[in-house]
Amino acid sequence: MVLEEIWTTKELFVYPNEYIYWSIQIVMYPFMTGLVAGAFVLSSLYHLFGIKPLKEIARFSLVFSFALLMVAPLPLLFHLMQPARNFYVVLTPHFTSAIAAFGVVLFIYASIVASELWFLYRQHLVESSLRLKNQLNLSLAGKIQLWTYTILTLGASDLSERALRLDEKAIKILAGAGVPVACFLHGYAGFIFGSVKANALWMTPLMPVIFIMSAVVSGVALCMLTYIVTMEIRRVIARRKRGSVLYPTVEQIRGVEMHEMRITARYLIFFLIFSISLELLDLVFRGYTAVKSWDILRNVIYGKDFVNIFVLQYILGNLVPFILLLIPRITIPRTLLALILVLFGVFMMRWNVVIGGQSFSLTFAGYMHYHLPLIPQDWETFKEGLFGALFIGVMPFVLFWALNKIFPVFDLQRSP
């Protein structure tokens, strides 16, 4: 009769109303916002600090960040018991709540990413609409394309040197403003957990910082991963189109790919070290100070959740990819494996925070166990189960594919 009974079992003394209320979708929520923030930070490394080797992946990350951004609020929506009332957060925001500002922060961030995207692609949009306008006998699809491009230019069709220079300047400013907002968006997700004084595992001021660092790690890793996959697809296409003047050769693609990966991997390792150090600091500090809650936390961390925390998160998700990336003469398959493991590690970190934080009772004398619903029986077990999470996970790629039709990430003749 109680919904949460589907996935919660209780052991020893647990208050009657305690269940795992925040389940898989709340694991997905910080995971997705983390990817958004990370992807944006990666793109800003080029636009803001002018790290030239990252030019190719920077454009890619920005478009991908926008795709992720559109999915980021979905897990929260899925999780709400009254999803139709979601906009009440904007109607009557109660600002003492850490969740209240979510709509505002997300909106500000979305506007920044959208405008940066627009400035970055303005030239392409104008040129495409002009090209289509000059074509005779446009098909219906062509007409729709023409309309889309023309509307997206917002009437700003000036392509003079001065206008393009202004575009570049705007991108730089937006990238600069975006980094703190991206960090805020995700640090804020950390604050939602870190400020819950009733939860002994969550409550630490380090939580927002830990979240930001792991966010950058996961965002960079996902961008690299998707970049490699799309480059491999392009390599296959290039092999088929061998001899075509318009298309880059297999060797050209491989060259660009390896170069971008080597540089980005360095940033990934840097953020990974930061992220692990903070998490270990938190763990050591809790053990050393050993306040009242430590007894039960120790049982959870070193007992019940040992495999999840130490084997899956720290060893498989952090240590192994760290070593894989550090061994010299890095190859694409090895990078790919390391990236998948890094993403898995960050996902497990979110899992261990959200589910781990609810796996012990407020009585400090009992435990709760989470059983992820696998096969959906109804709408509730779909959205709070494996398939709901997979749906959220796949959405950004679908959106990225769709966005790529209007904002092509590769083979732009000229772009800032």
Give the footprint of another protein on this chain (CB under 8 A).
Answer: 1-5, 9-19, 21-22, 76, 79-82, 85-86, 88-89, 91-94, 96-100, 102, 192, 196-199, 292, 361-366
Residue that the structure tokens 């491999």 belong to? 232
Nearer to another protein, 80 or 233 (CB): 80
Q: What DSSP letter does each residue of 123-142 carry, written as one string?
A: HHHHHHHHHHHH-SS--HHH
Phi and psi at 8, nearest 5°, equal -110, 135
**With left for phi above 0 and alpha for psi between -120 and 50, is residue 243 left, alpha or beta?**
left
Q: Which residue lies nearer to another protein by CB, 15 or 270?
A: 15
Number of helices and strands in the chain (H, E): 15, 2
Shortest reach from residue 14's CB to another protein, in Å: 7
Backbone dihedral angles phi then psi of residue 246, each to the nearest 5 degrees: -70, -25
**At closest approach, how far in Å is the CB of 354 from another protein?**
10
Return the sign of the alpha-carbon dihedral for residues 203, 204, 209, 211: negative
What are the backbone dihedrals phi and psi of residue 10, each rounded to the nearest 5 degrees, phi first? Answer: -115, 145
Closest approach of Cβ 12 to another protein, in Å? 6
CA distance 304 to 198: 20
For residues 101 and 330, which CB has a smaller minimum distance to another protein in the complex? 101
Q: How far, in Å, are 46, 56, 334 from residue 268 at the CA level?
A: 15, 17, 15
Contact at 8 Å (CB) between 378 and 6? no
- Cβ 78 to another protein, closest distance in Å? 12
- The span from the CA of 212 to the CA of 182, in Å, is 9
Residue 368 DSSP code: E
Residue 96 or 137 having the CB closest to another protein: 96
Shortest Cβ 356–another protein spacing (Å): 14
Find the shortest distance in angstroms from Cβ 10 to another protein. 4
Residue 279 CB, nearest approach to another protein (Å): 21
**Residue count (the chain):** 416
Cβ closer to another protein: 81 or 374? 81
Token pair, residue 400, equals 């990225």
Helix (H) or strand (E) holding 369: strand 366-370
Beta carbon nearer to another protein, 108 or 337: 108
CB of 300 vs another protein, minimal distance in Å: 16
Q: Which is nearer to another protein, 64 or 367 (CB)?
A: 367
Q: What are phi and psi of 305, to 5 degrees?
A: -105, 20
Instruction: For another protein, give the closer residue by CB, 98 or 177.
Output: 98
Smallest distance, another protein to C-beta of residue 386, A: 20
Shortest Å, Cβ 361 to another protein: 8
Other C-beta atoms closer than 10 Å to the C-beta of 262 total 12
CA-based torsion, 317, 232, 28, 108: positive or negative: positive
Instruction: Give me the least distance between CB of 29 and another protein, in Å please.
Output: 11
Q: 274 vs 364, which CB is nearer to another protein?
A: 364
Closest to another protein by CB, 91 vs 136, is 91
Instruction: Give the span between the Cα atoms of 299 and 297, in whole angstroms.
Output: 5
CA distance 369 to 194: 22
4 or 168: whose CB is closer to another protein? 4
Q: Amino acid identity, residue 326?
A: L
In the structure encoding, which two tokens stand for residue 13, read together? 């003394």
